[in-house]
Amino acid sequence: MLTKIRRFLYGMIGYEFEAQAVEIRSSMESLFMVVTFGDLVGLPVIPSYYAMRLLPFVVPNIATWKRRILREHGFAENPELDLHGL
């Protein structure tokens, strides 16, 4: 019974915060990747020493990052237009 109450309260209070935190983390990660490895998607960024040092750590994420950045975004995908709480 107590776990059901916890799950209900989490869904009522915490789920939206967690979803927003994941969304913010994703956008910050995309921004970091664009700044350091923007030349992979056509942005003229001079590769720095630090970007080359970070390259071995981000190689597993490059394919999904390129797919996410180069994907066309529709009008309804704007997070500003979400009806939070309605």
Using DSSP, state whether 72 is helix, strand or coil: coil
* Rg of the chain over all Cα atoms, to the nearest angstrom: 18
pLDDT tens digits, 19-39: 888 888 888 888 888 877 777
pLDDT the model gives residue 3:
92
Establish if 74 belongs to a structural domain.
Answer: yes
**Mean pLDDT across the stretch 34-60?**
77
Establish if 86 belongs to a structural domain.
Answer: no
Residue 18 has pLDDT above 70, yes or no: yes
Token pair listed for 63: 């394919």
Per the CB < 8 A criterion, the answer to whether 39 and 51 are in contact is no
Boundaries of domain holding 48: 2-81
Using DSSP, state whether 56 is helix, strand or coil: helix
Domain count, the chain: 1
pTM > 0.85: yes or no: no
